Structure 1
Amino acid sequence: MESHVHRRLLAPGALAVSLLLAIPASAADYEPGAPGIGDSYYPAYGNGGYNVSHYDLRLRYQPATDKLEGTATLLARTTQDLSRFNLDFLLDVSEVRVNGTKASFATSGEHELEITPKTPLPKGTPVTIVVRYSGVPSSKQAYGFTSWHRTPDGGVAANEPEAAWWWFPSNDHPLDKATYDVSVAVPDGTQAISNGTPQSVTSRKGWTRFNWRSDKPQATYLATLAVGKFDVTTGYTESGIPVINAYSEDLGDNAGAARASIERTGEIADWLAEYFGPYPYNALGGYVPNVTTGYALETQTRPFYSPRQFAQGPNVSVVVHELAHQWYGDLVSVAGWKDIWINEGFARYAQWLWSEHEGEGTAQELADHVYASHPADDAFWTVKPGDPGPENQFDIAVYDRGALALQALRNEIGDKAFFAILKGWPAKYAHGNATVADFRAYAEQVSGRSLGSLFETWLYEPSKPGAPAARDAKVVASRSSVVKAPKSWKKIAATNSVHDH
């Protein structure tokens, strides 16, 4: 008995180590979180030192003055011993609390809110951050622009790669996805549209509060808010997903074409599921506010469309593009903005597949047309879809040359492997992030082929792939078949302004 007790005693050295482990790090060991998450294109976007798991946004918005008041509650966890941390935000902050205690705060840079908690935060600590704020979003700019769209009857937050700064404080980078509750009070007779599913609508003293929930991880730029007077339609996809679409009441001549396109959302989502796997969310739809901009955006579960997308008539192709992003861009998001091809090349290729489906030109015919219609000295070929640079992130080459690269891959590995990849990729990285290199590795794994040369030629060489490479990828067709563009080309080209962010 006695010897057993002695064996359990700690040696003096071990005792000292155990006592040291019980002592928290000194204040000197805590450091500020980085003011950027490490993106090579946008070094100041996002922040270091923590991850957010949930945003609870309780807002009040007055369309007449564009004044937004809010309380944002962020649930996060520290990833380092943290003395201070940043949020990305532009509006005026009146109070910040960290784990219930008031914290000091200051602004820096173009969009940084620096928060210093009363006591430092050890690594791995759950953190509740409450930010009270107000301001006029349309009066705020960063880097010389705004992502807030003022409309005749309200306002809209929608842009890429940044939109959150104008309406809620965040860790603004796709690497830090979170779930959302968005509650917005607006004057009676006005609606508030956001992502996900509606939870409730209540009215009190001249104000109506709309509550929305996104219960799957969502990147900050994919969160959206639209306040105005909308005509709302509801329905279900054939697979049972609820669809909510919203159209500004003052779309004018574009109203019919917008509805004729977006009301096919459920049909298109079910069709895309045949290629990409089951639709990944419990909500679906789209909205068209009366904005003056021209682009569309894949805001999660409820894409944003500008009225100009329908100025030339119905445009189902743009709906295909934005819904394809629900898998390629939303379900699987970029690890860095240089990986934008995984979003845009695939959404464009979905338009090519829709063209096949509609009998208006095969993906092969569209690839041949793209290859033939850009001569070797066209600047189109100097953009590298696999890493286009921030100035060319939304260049048309990322879309068209990006889709051309996918057709080259399809021809190289065959339809069976290619379509297995299209469906398997969103499942493999569901609700996460990935790089172009990850996609190449996955394509090589599924196809059993070495694809380095193909990816280098079609995604990274700043020049037009020569005739031998094109022949190898079966992209060259006879001249007679590429002089005339496929029937769908005009509709596809009409969506080119989706990239004019």
Structure 2
Amino acid sequence: MRLRLIVPSAAAAFLMLAIPASAADGTPGAPGVGDSYYPTSGNGGYHVSHYDLRLKYEPKTDRLDGTATLTATTTQALSRFNLDFALHVNEVLVNGKKAAFTKTGEHELEITPPSSLEQGKEVNVVVRYSDTPSQVKINGYSAWQRTPDGAVVANEPEAAVWWFPSNDHPRDKATYDISVAVPDGLQTVSNGELKSQTSKLGWTRYNWRATKPQATYLTTLAVGKFDITTDKTSNGLPVLNAYSKDLGDNLDPAKASVGRTAEIIDWESSVFGPYPFNAVGGYVPNVKTGYALETQTRPYYSPSSFANGANVSVVVHELAHQWFGDNVSVKNWRDIWVNEGFATYAQWLWSAKEGEGTTQELADYVYNGIPADNDFWKVKPGDPGADNQFHNAVYNRGAIALQALRNKVGDKTFFTILKQWQSENKYGNGSVQDFVKFSERVSGKPLQKLFDTWLFTTTKPSAADAAKDGIGTAHQAKAGRSLKAAEPKSWKKIKEAQAALPH
């Protein structure tokens, strides 16, 4: 209840007016950013610009001790605010003063500072914590994976809540310093560049720095014994790749694939525009999970990605995400097509470059090869629903949409769209509709119907509708081929790569 004060004098009234309204009228920040798929993800009332994480991890006990320091700016006057975090918290400081806190739900840390925070002010938040992350479950699941010699955390759409407190939504990007102490003989892998390492009293501390805006789910950590290799791209960008030493028969094909990172980045830079970050690489830990993830500057690959031999296509996919997903991230999780459709199309472009099937042949093959009654056509890539966020249709039907766009606007305009989308939205976010409008602006053509056909219908587009966009039987007839497209040489490799992609 808000009290009404009766002021007895004009002088007293003047003093009341002198109190900043933002300080007196602070209200709680929202416990979510309003994402329709994940309502409790992220928080309202502030923007984080930097995370400083100082951690200590003991693999034998799976104990993680941490101090997270967040530099944030309030976007409203705050009486209270939330962080997304699932581990046990020992203490919270706001601007150097102890703050009250409580846990609500499975991963909401509710913080009440000693006094309301003014709008537009920089705030320093310190959270001290300790726990065993693999034992902390949300809906029966933990993103923290223990390995034979350490641990790994990498997942989508949520991973941060198991190892650092954050504003956990892609709309709130920040820079990072990640300092991790582990027992001597072990190493750490994280985002950005390794700036230094020091040993003391049986512990080695590794200091990683990521200097470009980065979404929370794209922040990763691995602890273990790694074979680390370094390289450079043609323009001098540092490349660091890491492979667990106990990958067995998967080690050599992993190196044959991830080891081509510099080459792939050079090629993708020519297609999508300048690489947006100051480091790149990849890592393959000894884990049992079967997916890959575009963790910023250092994608994560499971060993199973290479169980059948070299798998360059999955590396092409995750590195393409450094542009589509990492540089320009989803505005809301329903916009996942702006990540996955484009990374899949990068695989198709690589296939064409390698002479193993053109993008047109791949689009025709997908369209003609999947019957109209298949569930593939019931999923809308432009808004698939949380349960189908990583459905095959988001990837491959999503890639057909890009081939249809390319057919409609021509190669020159199409690749201009891809590059300018990156440059105009650098380190930001974009939605499906943002891309539709952007493509219309750059091309000067009405394109909504095309995107509706391939991204927003729950039936297979008719042969006539597909023909209008140069997809399927019409294209094959023009080329003098049979109505059933031949399987491109690269298709098995692409499918094998995609088997590792839904997270």
Taking structure 1 as reference, are residues 26 and 490 closer, same or farther at Cα in structure 2, changes over 3 Å only?
Answer: closer
> Over the residues paired in the alignment, what is the CA RMSD in angstroms?
1.5
Preserved contact between residue 383 and residue 456 of structure 2 (Cα < 8 Å): yes
Q: Within the alignment, does 1:367 sit opposite 2:369 as a pair? A: no
Distance 1:481 1:317 in 2: 27
Equivalent residue for 2:38?
42
Residue 493 of structure 2, aligned match among 467, 487, 491? 491
Alpha-carbon distance, 1:480 to partner: 2.5
Distance 1:348 1:16 in 2: 67
- The residue type paired with residue 443 of structure 2 is S
5+ unaligned residues in a row in structure 1: which ranges?
1-14
Equivalent residue for 1:185?
181
What pairs up with 1:61-76 in 2 under 5 angstroms?
61-76=57-72
- The residue type paired with residue 228 of structure 2 is V
Q: Deviations over 1:276-303 (max 9, x none)?
A: 1011111010000001000000000000
Distance 2:273 2:298 in 1: 19
Q: Deviations over 1:29-82 (max 9, x none)?
A: 221111111111100001111100000000000111111000000000111111
- The residue type paired with residue 204 of structure 1 is K
Equivalent residue for 2:133?
137
Alpha-carbon distance, 1:16 to partner: 11
- The residue type paired with residue 141 of structure 1 is K
Residue 100 of structure 1, aligned match among 87, 96, 120? 96
Residue 293 of structure 1, aligned match among 286, 289, 294? 289
Distance 1:363 1:144 in 2: 41
Equivalent residue for 2:8?
none
Alpha-carbon distance, 1:498 to partner: 3.0
Residue 76 of structure 2, aligned match among 73, 80, 84? 80
Alpha-carbon distance, 1:18 to partner: 8.7
Equivalent residue for 1:261?
257
Equivalent residue for 2:466?
470
Equivalent residue for 1:460?
456
Preserved contact between residue 190 and residue 298 of structure 2 (Cα < 8 Å): yes
Preserved contact between residue 175 and residue 334 of structure 1 (Cα < 8 Å): yes
Preserved contact between residue 313 and residue 347 of structure 2 (Cα < 8 Å): yes
Distance 2:218 2:350 in 1: 24
Preserved contact between residue 22 and residue 118 of structure 2 (Cα < 8 Å): no
Q: Within the alignment, does 1:197 sit opposite 2:193 as a pair? A: yes
Taking structure 1 as reference, are residues 369 and 30 closer, same or farther at Cα in structure 2, changes over 3 Å only?
Answer: same
Alpha-carbon distance, 1:132 to partner: 0.3
Secondary structure of 1:494's counterpart equals helix
Distance 2:105 2:34 in 1: 16
Secondary structure of 2:362's counterpart equals helix
Q: Within the alignment, does 1:232 sit opposite 2:228 as a pair? A: yes
Q: Deviations over 1:374-409 (max 9, x none)?
A: 111111001001111101000010000000000011
Distance 2:460 2:284 in 1: 38
- The residue type paired with residue 414 of structure 1 is G
Secondary structure of 1:495's counterpart equals helix
Preserved contact between residue 171 and residue 429 of structure 2 (Cα < 8 Å): yes
Secondary structure of 1:498's counterpart equals coil
Distance 2:97 2:277 in 1: 36
- The residue type paired with residue 253 of structure 1 is D
Residue 441 of structure 1, aligned match among 437, 446, 458? 437
Alpha-carbon distance, 1:255 to partner: 0.3
Residue 142 of structure 2, aligned match among 143, 146, 150? 146
Preserved contact between residue 348 and residue 362 of structure 2 (Cα < 8 Å): yes
**Identity across aligned pairs (percent)?**
66
Alpha-carbon distance, 1:20 to partner: 6.4
Q: Within the alignment, does 1:55 sit opposite 2:51 as a pair? A: yes
Equivalent residue for 1:376?
372
Taking structure 1 as reference, are residues 17 and 126 closer, same or farther at Cα in structure 2, changes over 3 Å only?
Answer: farther
